[in-house]
């Protein structure tokens, strides 16, 4: 029986949602189809997704090809125009089993779930957020979705919508089930994790939610968090980090730059000094702390001096582990700038030039082997069903 494959690009949240898609596909009984779950963060991610679509059609011309994810949410018409694509799905719609029912089913949803292209989806509940991924270590548990900020380099709010949080009770129920099933590690994930709770009654903080999980569920062996905004880490989280050994000594920080002027032009809410202070505080609390970060090389108006400061005086000081080349993204404010950074970002948005590539390659050599293969692009899930779409 032909399998249905889910091909994943992008972040941990996308990987988590691909497992929800796998469950939805299995529940609908879909077979002989390919679902490509795209990412919109960089032009390279979109290029790889289009390549995967063409390859999937070439390998199995009879398979039904669905395209979903942030890139498809933001520009559905771009993917609908590809001759290999049969259906384009929005980020909410992709998680629903009825989406994958046969085409002649009367209740089949419409092909797009978001608003107009370039407009963020409306604030609404998040289907599937109460589910975690089982049968793997670590297991991802989504606790938050969307973002209310408008950093000038980022299009994610247009693909994910405004910030929404999962109630603590729902998170605890799922974490308890994962722990009871023997899952050794749970990773809490979201788009803007430190914004957790701002939309909930009582406005619980991320630290309060994490403390509740660890206090109520002693069976949790290890708890890890995905990317954190250094401008929003709350006091309860810092307290837990210092005393709770089950909270892993690993922080991934959304820094983006180590230069104050570039940070201001990105509309980030922290400074270079703030980032250094966060790193110092984390390592004072846990000397074994491992730090990772997202940094962009080649942002518009970045000078040679700013680039060198970020590499030699900032990244080396913090022993960070990951960089990304700047790529112009439609709808992001920085895309309107015609001044590229000194590190060589191309006008077409293909990423940094020689300096940017050397910067990133150096980090790839330095990071540990366990980091090199996490979150691989184009990850494929396979699931079995009963009928064709």
Beta bridge pairs of residue 325: 297
pLDDT of residue 311: 74
Tokens found for residue 258: 């180590």
Asked, colleague to colleague, whether 128-248 and 253-374 share their fold, the answer is yes
Give residue for tokens 């630290």: 207
User: Using alpha carbons only, how large is the chain's radius of gyration in Å?
Assistant: 21
Rounded to whole angstroms, the Cα distance separating 268 from 295 reads 12
pLDDT of residue 236: 97
Residue 89 above 80 pLDDT?
yes
Contacts of 180 (CB under 8 A, 6+ apart): 219
What is the per-residue pLDDT across 253-276, written as a single tens digit (0 to 9) for each?
999 888 899 999 999 999 999 999
- Asked if 147 and 100 touch (Cβ cutoff 8 Å), the reply is no
Q: What percent of the chain has pLDDT over 90?
A: 52
What is the per-residue pLDDT across 299-352, written as a single tens digit (0 to 9) for each?
888 888 888 777 767 776 776 655 445 555 554 555 555 454 544 332 223 333
Q: Tell me what the mean pLDDT of segment 213-239 comes to.
A: 96
Q: Tell me what the mean pLDDT of segment 232-249 comes to.
A: 97
Question: What angle do helix axes 235-243 and 272-285 make, rounded to 10 degrees?
Answer: 30
253-374: CATH class: alpha beta
pLDDT of residue 372: 29
Q: Tell me what the mean pLDDT of segment 228-253 comes to.
A: 96
- Asked if 352 and 343 touch (Cβ cutoff 8 Å), the reply is yes
pLDDT of residue 297: 80
Distances (CA, A) of 277 to 250, 292, 293, 317: 16, 15, 14, 12
pLDDT top residue among 262 and 369: 262
Residue 363 above 50 pLDDT?
no
Tokens found for residue 318: 């913090």
pLDDT top residue among 3 and 65: 65
Tokens found for residue 269: 């809410």
Enter the pTM of the model. 0.71
Confidence bin at 371 (pLDDT 50/70/90): very low
The side-by-side arrangement of strands in the sheet containing 4-8 is 87-88, 64-69, 33-38, 4-8, 379-383
Q: Residue 260, Cα to own-chain centre: how many angstroms?
A: 25
What is the per-residue pLDDT across 109-148, written as a single tens digit (0 to 9) for each?
443 444 444 444 444 444 333 344 555 568 889 999 999 9
Rounded to whole angstroms, the Cα distance separating 244 from 312 reads 34
Rounded to whole angstroms, the Cα distance separating 89 from 20 reads 14
Rounded to whole angstroms, the Cα distance separating 196 from 219 reads 23
4-106+114-119: CATH class: alpha beta
Domain 128-248 falls under CATH 3.30.750.210:
yes
Calculate the average pLDDT of the chain: 78
Tokens found for residue 129: 């957020």
Element (H, E) at 16: helix 12-28
Element (H, E) at 260: helix 260-266
Beta bridge pairs of residue 65: 34
pLDDT of residue 42: 82
**Parallel/antiparallel/unpaired status of strands 379-383 and 222-225:** unpaired
Domain boundaries, the chain: 4-106+114-119, 128-248, 253-374
pLDDT of residue 136: 58
Tokens found for residue 32: 């002989």
Rounded to whole angstroms, the Cα distance separating 32 from 102 reads 12
- Asked if 160 and 191 touch (Cβ cutoff 8 Å), the reply is yes
Alpha helices in 91-249 (DSSP H): 156-160, 168-180, 206-216, 235-243
What is the per-residue pLDDT across 165-215, written as a single tens digit (0 to 9) for each?
999 999 999 999 999 989 999 999 999 999 999 999 999 999 999 999 999
Phi, psi of 247 (to 5 degrees): -85, 115
Residue 289 above 80 pLDDT?
yes
DSSP result, 299-342: -TT--HHHHHIIIIIIIHHHT----EE----TT-GGGG-----T
Distances (CA, A) of 48 to 39, 53, 56, 131, 305: 10, 9, 12, 28, 32
Rounded to whole angstroms, the Cα distance separating 254 from 275 reads 9
Single out the residue of 220, 211, 210 nearest to residue 186, CA to CA.
Answer: 220
Q: What percent of the chain has pLDDT over 70?
A: 72
């Amino acid at each position: 029986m032909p399998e249905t494959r889910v091909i994943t690009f992008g972040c941990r949240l996308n990987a988590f949602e691909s497992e929800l898609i796998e469950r939805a596909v299995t529940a609908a009984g879909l077979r002989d189809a390919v679902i490509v779950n795209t990412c919109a963060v960089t032009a390279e991610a979109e290029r790889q997704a289009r390549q995967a679509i063409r390859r999937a059609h070439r390998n199995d011309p009879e398979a039904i090809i669905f395209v979903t994810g942030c890139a498809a949410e933001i520009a559905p018409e771009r993917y609908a125009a590809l001759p290999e694509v049969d259906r384009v799905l929005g980020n909410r719609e992709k998680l629903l089993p009825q989406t994958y029912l046969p085409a002649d089913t009367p209740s089949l949803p419409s092909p797009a779930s978001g608003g107009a292209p370039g407009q963020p989806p409306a604030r609404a509940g998040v289907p599937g957020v109460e589910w975690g991924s089982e049968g793997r270590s670590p297991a991802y548990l989504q606790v938050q979705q969307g973002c209310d900020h408008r950093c000038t380099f980022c299009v994610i709010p247009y693909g994910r919508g405004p910030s929404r949080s999962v109630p603590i009770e729902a998170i605890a129920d799922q974490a308890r089930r994962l722990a009871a099933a023997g899952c050794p590690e749970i990773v809490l994930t979201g788009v803007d994790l430190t914004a957790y709770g701002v939309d909930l009654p009582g406005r619980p903080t991320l630290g309060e939610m994490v403390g509740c999980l660890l206090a109520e569920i002693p069976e949790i062996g290890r708890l890890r968090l995905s990317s954190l905004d250094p401008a929003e880490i709350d006091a309860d989280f810092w307290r837990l980090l210092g005393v709770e050994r089950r909270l892993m000594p690993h922080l991934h920080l959304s820094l983006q730059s180590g230069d104050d002027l570039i940070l201001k032009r990105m509309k980030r809410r922290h400074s270079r000094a703030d980032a250094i202070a966060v790193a110092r505080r984390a390592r004072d609390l846990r000397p074994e702390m491992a730090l990772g970060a997202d940094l962009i090389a080649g942002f518009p108006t970045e000078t040679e001096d700013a680039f060198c400061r970020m590499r030699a005086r900032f990244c080396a000081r913090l022993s960070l582990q990951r960089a990304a080349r700047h790529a112009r993204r439609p709808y992001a404010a920085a895309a309107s700038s015609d001044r590229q950074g000194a590190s060589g970002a191309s006008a077409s948005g293909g990423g940094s030039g020689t300096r940017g590539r050397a910067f990133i390659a150096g980090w790839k050599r330095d990071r540990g082997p366990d980091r090199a293969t996490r979150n691989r692009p184009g990850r494929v899930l396979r699931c079995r069903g009963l009928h064709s779409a």
